[in-house]
Structure 1
Amino acid sequence: MSRSSAASPLSSARPNVPLIIVCGCLIALLSFGPRSALGMFLLPMTEARGWSREIFALALAIQNLTWGAAQPFAGMLADRYGTARVFAAGVVIYAIGLVAMAYAQTPVWLHVSAGVMIGIGIASSSFALVIAAFGRVVTAEQRSMAFGIGTASGSMGQFVFGFLAPPLIDGLGWQVALIAMGGVMLAVLPLTFALRGKSVHTPTHAHEKEQNLKQAVAEAFGTRGYILLTFGFFVCGFHVAFITVHLPPYIVDLGLEPFWGGLSIALIGLFNIFGSLASGYIGGRFSKPYLLSVIYLSRAFAIFIFLMVPPTPFTVMVFAGVMGLLWLSTVPPTSGLVAVMFGPRYMGTLFGFVFFSHQLGSFLGIWLGGKLYDETGSYDTIWWLGIALGLFAAVVHWPIREAPVERLASVPAE
């Protein structure tokens, strides 16, 4: 390896940044779409199989937990062997999981297919790896906006599949709809080639110390701000997963047509495009910790108002729009803080651990939603718990310092 390539923070080949951004955004769109529409399969699938809502909710809760547990390892593999290989394996597992879910005859196979298989597939093909790949090829000044664009692309997938899923289920049946979405996932494979390569970082400044992966993880978990960020992202997962899975059936419980449930998920995805882009822009210019506190406080207030007003199509759509603006707008500042604190070298791994906390929250949000509904016949308790957690997250993010760790404090930004 030549001296110039050894000093580069990236692989020896110059990355085609526009191509990486475009293909990464398409991957985020196609991979995030199907899993965000799975809540619409709750009613038809449980009615067809004679299962309770808790059984279906547990499968998606396992999916989110598996996703979170696998995410750090997917990040490690991408950091070490390259993002494209991990993406390719992930989309194949994802597609097989969707097809297997269509043919699941027992709760065990539902949990294996919709839970474990799709969870591993998402961990290896979702926006978390996309934004890590973006972080390695754009400048420090561009990262926040690039992360917002990557997150917004995942939201576009939620918007598109939120509209597509109901007519697919009505027209083809829920089984064929799942198989069709599995076929869509395979369309991601050609796009993964553009994200080939990996980060090969070598210190370029006298004060910078080279790290191995174990040292990077130890440094992160020894940093107070990283721990607080991890706690806060738990709440994001709780909110997002509970609403994704249980808002459509909740809307039906309120006496409204199922159409409004599908439209609400689509609107959340649509408005989150704008929310994610705005968050990326604001996070690049103002305090990321303060921005996160405002987002979580606003979520708590939005849920409170939604519970207080009469349930009508209008109030449901307004709630969906507001939550959409606040939905994954947490991702650009959260991932941005990881990059600010520790740099991009092991971002796939370090953001993966933060994301695991997000998925622990997702597991509890989905599972508790189904369990408490089956026990009480109502989602009220889980909604109020979501409000309390939103207030907790607003407090937790406020004291985080947006600054590099001591190892990087005297090193010029990459």
Structure 2
Amino acid sequence: MSIVASELRPAPAIGNWRTPLVIIVCGCAIALLSFGPRSSLGFFVQPMGREFSWGRDVFGLALAVQNLLWGLGQPIAGAIADRFGVLRVMCVGALLYAGGLLLMRYAATPLSLDIGAGVLIGFGLSGCSFNLVLSAFSKLLPPEKRGIALGAGTAAGSFGQFLFAPFGVALIDNFGWQVALIVFAGLMLLIIPLSLALATPPAAAADVPAADQQSFKTALAEAFGHRSYVLLVLGFFTCGFQLAFITVHLPAFLSDRGVSAQTGGWVIAAIGLFNIIGSLSVGWLQNIFPKRYILSAIYFTRALSIIAFISFPITTFSAIAFGAISGLTWLSTVPPTSALVALMFGTRWFATLYGFAFVSHQVGGFLGVWLGGIVFEQFGSYTPIWWLSVLFGVLSALINLPIVEAPVARPVAQPA
């Protein structure tokens, strides 16, 4: 098969100020801002629960809805971005995100919490999170810069987690959870001016050679009829299950075992900090080693780290060590997963096809958060969910091994 034509063409014409460095820096800033608050929402579980007498299942449902709608909204946002450009999608997403945080601040019932923390933030994330940043990188940057850019964009999201976890705890301790949510909402509005650097032109059929013109339905049929894409999507489920469960329930899990909230904040921060190393390393390693082997190693390492964490007494040291090891494998699945999607199908419908893979990720996130809250309220322990995370990790390590890393075979049009 010939190389996808879009890979051979230079990046779309952009303003002189939008150099590759500016695009990468602004994209990383957006990833940092969008990923920070949602990774810190677990620290609001206990103060809001005490004020409104809510159980952890109430927060579990709201944040599970957030994860699910983030996933379901991603292919829709991706399709709109692929067709009309990234800019308007990111602006709407930032406004929804900020609105969700504000509504969460004034939430006094489980329903209002579900709408703010669940619906609005979920759809907001689908429009302005690092997924669309990676899509813009794939469209605007030349192929030789994409690998490190994808790793940098993912690492920036982790750096947001590193910054916002202790920042959020400090705001809650000194000013209250209400002020913390208002500050977070204001920071989300910064995404709007930053997104100007990532604006992509609307797609036009005239810009695409006839051999590469493909409809939305054809692209989906091709992807879901491709065995390697289906395996990649199934494996991504585990990533969402583990990450969402740990993000939301780990602070409370540590508190139950006598670990202070401040230490819990530094554990989440350690995950974000070490994920910078993991994401950048994987962004580089995927140019050397097969991506399927990298993904398999990541999932298997996660399973082993969870077994070690829950099998020994929980101390400050063991908690931070678990955060560091988890961080190395946290979002490092994203660069090889997104790179495999681009390799298999090109960049024309990248945001859409990666969006559907992300649906699987967020369905896993929905179940991880929701089941975590239900299991704890029923049994007073998170142990069954920890072991379910181990099982999913081993299964995903095996699922990724048969993936074929090659462009999908497409029939070549013959002259009449």
Is 1:74 matched with 2:77?
Answer: yes
Query: How far apart, CA to CA, are the structure 1 residues paired with 2:116 and 2:98?
Result: 10
Q: Give, in angstroms, the shift of residue 137 of structure 1.
A: 2.0
Match among 401, 405, 409 for residue 402 of structure 1: 405
Query: In structure 2, the residue corresponding to 1:361 is in which secondary structure?
Result: helix
Question: Unmatched 5+ residue regions in structure 2?
Answer: 1-5
Would the alpha carbon gap of residues 407 and 248 (structure 1) be closer, same or farther in structure 2, given more than 3 Å must change?
same
Question: Unmatched 5+ residue regions in structure 1?
Answer: none
User: Which residue identity lines up with residue 52 of structure 1 in the other structure?
Assistant: G
Q: Give, in angstroms, the shift of residue 205 of structure 1.
A: 10
Query: How far apart, CA to CA, are the structure 2 residues paired with 1:125 and 1:294?
Result: 29
Cα pair 2:136 2:200 within 8 Å, conserved: no
In structure 2, the partner of 1:39 is 42
Is 1:237 matched with 2:237?
Answer: no
Query: How far apart, CA to CA, are the structure 1 residues paired with 2:77 and 2:258?
Result: 42
Query: How far apart, CA to CA, are the structure 2 residues paired with 1:203 and 1:251?
Result: 57
Q: 1:49-95: CA deviations, max 9, x gaps?
A: 11110001110000000100000001011111111111111101100
Q: Give, in angstroms, the shift of residue 198 of structure 1.
A: 3.0
User: Which residue identity lines up with residue 132 of structure 1 in the other structure?
Assistant: S
Query: How far apart, CA to CA, are the structure 2 residues paired with 1:178 and 1:265?
Result: 18
Match among 60, 64, 76 for residue 61 of structure 1: 64
Match among 182, 189, 193 for residue 192 of structure 2: 189
Q: Give, in angstroms, the shift of residue 12 of structure 1.
A: 4.4
Query: In structure 2, the residue corresponding to 1:256 is in which secondary structure?
Result: coil
Is 1:211 matched with 2:214?
Answer: yes
Is 1:162 matched with 2:177?
Answer: no
Percent identity, aligned pairs only, is: 51
Q: Give, in angstroms, the shift of residue 200 of structure 1.
A: 3.9
Is 1:287 matched with 2:279?
Answer: no
Is 1:116 matched with 2:119?
Answer: yes
Q: Give, in angstroms, the shift of residue 297 of structure 1.
A: 0.3
Is 1:384 matched with 2:381?
Answer: no
Would the alpha carbon gap of residues 270 and 175 (structure 1) be closer, same or farther in structure 2, given more than 3 Å must change?
same
User: Which residue identity lines up with residue 284 of structure 1 in the other structure?
Assistant: N
Would the alpha carbon gap of residues 404 and 51 (structure 1) be closer, same or farther in structure 2, given more than 3 Å must change?
same
Query: How far apart, CA to CA, are the structure 1 residues paired with 2:220 and 2:181?
Result: 38
In structure 2, the partner of 1:371 is 374
Query: How far apart, CA to CA, are the structure 2 residues paired with 1:145 and 1:317?
Result: 28
Is 1:143 matched with 2:149?
Answer: no
In structure 2, the partner of 1:132 is 135
Query: In structure 2, the residue corresponding to 1:344 is in which secondary structure?
Result: coil
- When the two structures are aligned, how many residues end up with a matched partner? 405
In structure 2, the partner of 1:225 is 228
User: Which residue identity lines up with residue 273 of structure 2 in the other structure?
Assistant: L
Is 1:359 matched with 2:339?
Answer: no
Q: 1:280-325: CA deviations, max 9, x gaps?
A: 0011221001100000000000000111122110000100000000
Normalised to the residue count of structure 1, the TM-score between the two structures is: 0.94
In structure 2, the partner of 1:317 is 320
Cα pair 2:140 2:200 within 8 Å, conserved: no
Query: How far apart, CA to CA, are the structure 2 residues paired with 1:49 and 1:101?
Result: 13
Would the alpha carbon gap of residues 274 and 203 (structure 1) be closer, same or farther in structure 2, given more than 3 Å must change?
farther
Q: 1:94-133: CA deviations, max 9, x gaps?
A: 0011000010111011001100000010110000000010
Would the alpha carbon gap of residues 206 and 19 (structure 1) be closer, same or farther in structure 2, given more than 3 Å must change?
closer
Q: Give, in angstroms, the shift of residue 9 of structure 1.
A: 6.4
Normalised to the residue count of structure 2, the TM-score between the two structures is: 0.94
In structure 1, the partner of 2:251 is 248
User: Which residue identity lines up with residue 41 of structure 1 in the other structure?
Assistant: F
Query: In structure 1, the residue corresponding to 2:128 is in which secondary structure?
Result: coil
Would the alpha carbon gap of residues 315 and 372 (structure 1) be closer, same or farther in structure 2, given more than 3 Å must change?
same
Query: In structure 2, the residue corresponding to 1:407 is in which secondary structure?
Result: coil
In structure 2, the partner of 1:272 is 275
Would the alpha carbon gap of residues 212 and 205 (structure 1) be closer, same or farther in structure 2, given more than 3 Å must change?
closer
Query: How far apart, CA to CA, are the structure 2 residues paired with 1:207 and 1:287?
Result: 32
Is 1:176 matched with 2:171?
Answer: no
Query: How far apart, CA to CA, are the structure 2 residues paired with 1:383 and 1:220?
Result: 32
User: Which residue identity lines up with residue 182 of structure 1 in the other structure?
Assistant: A
Q: Give, in angstroms, the shift of residue 146 of structure 1.
A: 1.4
Query: How far apart, CA to CA, are the structure 2 residues paired with 1:217 and 1:199?
Result: 20
User: Which residue identity lines up with residue 140 of structure 1 in the other structure?
Assistant: P
